[in-house]
Structure 1
Amino acid sequence: MANIIRSAKSGIDWTHNDLYSHPITIHQEDHLLLIFTSQELPQPVIDQELLTILDADNMQQDRNAELIGLLDLAMIRDKGETAVDDFVVELFKVLGYVHRQRLARTRVDLPLLICSEQIYATTDVCILDRSQNDILLLVQEDKRSEPISARAQLVAEAVAAFNKNNARREAMGLSPLVSKVSYFLSWLIG
């Protein structure tokens, strides 16, 4: 394999070549249960109404109707990325992933040093644990309809989040982590 030249570019511009040019290993998990059994995120609790009623107008619970209404908007390509982000944030709330110490954030800029240049990887949505001041989960919408590019963007965000989390640890007098399992979700629009 030829040497691929590395260049400094923001996370949104990463491609599969950037994954190959850095010493990054990706292990894809087909079993989502592994994500949900992590001690950092609780088991999701899903209201039966969400599993049995398809139309938001027929739902009894306002929160469920809002979630399905946001899902409907997110599935329409021309509604833009904010519709997807709004849906994901509400989904995390409904699943119980967001509470006092855990916040869903959108458009978080994460600094990333590449080729001696400071660039940024910007999350679509992430879950931030306030008690540890760590980013626990990242969500990236595939805006280019190319799953490999979405994966590359997620990896850039994960590397940036890992570095930011370690910088916070060091600022608090804690040892930096050598590694961390990161969970990625990619949202593909129809």
Structure 2
Amino acid sequence: MSSLIRSAKLGRDWTINDLLAFNIQVVPKDYPNFFGIDRLPPPAVSPLILHHETMPVYLKDIPKHHKNRSDWKFYQLLSDIIHPSPGQEPPVDDFAMFLLDMMDFDEGERVTRRWREMSFVMCGQRVSAETDVCVMQTINETATYYILLVLKGKVSVDTEAHFIASACAAFSENSDLRSRLALPALESMTFPAVTFVGSTPTFYKITVTEELLLALASAQYPATPTIVERLVPPVPDLVSFHVSGMLQVNNRLAIFKCFQAFQHLVVSTATS
């Protein structure tokens, strides 16, 4: 693999070849090995969302300005993903941001943000990468750093490659920020990350190291492999999961349990 051609490219142009060229491997895990727990925690989610496949009739009559409208908004966004407005993309990023906020990923000094452009050095050139939604940790009034990444995409290896490039950019931005603030340098950082294909989430832990960043910058094959862990939620029917996602109520409990466990990873990332 060390003989593969390496060239500077935008994060959205990464492919499986770039993962091979920089010794990056994506490894599937089950939830005990991914989260390091024997049992997934119960989700702090409305029972109505967990047990009703479509919006109950009475919810449709709740005014939009009602102060407690999370249930209504969940079903509305889910419906918009299935039936987007003519000429509009499904609001996957709005849905992802809503889920993170509903489950308190933005608690304390954490904030959720929509589309962010980041950059890192690849093969001697500075290139950009994006994240559709992210959670950031506030350091002071003017400084925040990335602790969770969300990307919408398709079921493909290339989507994973785009996502890993975004994590490299987030690590680079975090490292630059810490340097400006005279904080200790980062040797590595594990980003909790989620891809959404429609309403179907897949969870990742992407560990980026200073060694990988140096290899990217100098177009070298790193001796140490970068291991990216992937978790598909333990839903009842994995065959149809990529199509059904949260549309099927049978999937929601497993998905939200994973989000609940994922929140603990985000908290530990923010405090490390």
Q: TM-score range by the shorter chain?
A: 0.7 to 0.9
Q: CA separation in 1, counterparts of 2:19 and 2:52? A: 41
| Counterpart AA for 1:158 | A
2:151 is aligned to 140
Q: Offset at 1:34? A: 4.8
Is the 1:36–1:44 Cα contact (8 Å) retained in structure 2?
no
Contact 1:73 1:79 survives alignment (8 Å): no
Given that 2:11 and 2:166 are in contact with CA atoms closer than 8 Å, whether structure 1 keeps it comes out as yes
Q: TM-score, normalised by structure 2?
A: 0.60
Give me the CA root mean square deviation. Answer: 2.7
Q: Deviations over 1:121-174 (max 9, x none)?
A: 0111111111372211111111xx342011101100011101111111111111
* Alpha-carbon distance between aligned partners in 2 of 1:36 and 1:66, rounded to the nearest angstrom: 32
**Larger CA deviation: 180-189 vs 106-115:** 180-189
> 1 CA distance for matches of 2:193 and 2:162?
10
Larger radius of gyration: 2
Farther off after superposition, 7-16 or 57-66 = 57-66
Residues 14, 156 of structure 1: 8 Å contact kept: yes
1:152 equivalent to 2:151? Answer: no
Q: Does 1:106 align with 2:121?
A: no
Structure 1, unmatched stretches of 5+, are 38-42
Residue 22 of structure 2 is matched in structure 1 by 22
* TM-score of the two chains, using structure 1 as the length reference: 0.83
Match of 1:55 in 2: 54
Name 2:75's counterpart in structure 1: 68
Higher RCO, 1 vs 2 (CA within 8 Å, ≥6 residues apart): 2
How has the CA–CA distance of structure 1 residues 29 and 126 changed in structure 2, closer, same or farther, with 3 Å as cutoff?
farther
2:185 corresponds, among 162, 165, 176, to 176
Question: For each residue in 1:23-46, what CA deviation from the matched residue of structure 2 results, as whole angstroms up to 9, or x when unmatched?
Answer: 334444331895598xxxxx9521
1:185 aligns with 2:201: no
List runs of 5+ in structure 2 lacking aligned partners. 63-67, 199-242, 244-272
Tell me, in whole angstroms, the C-alpha distance in 2 between the residues paired with 1:8 and 1:149.
16
Moved more, 63-72 or 161-170: 63-72
Percentage of pairs with the same residue: 25
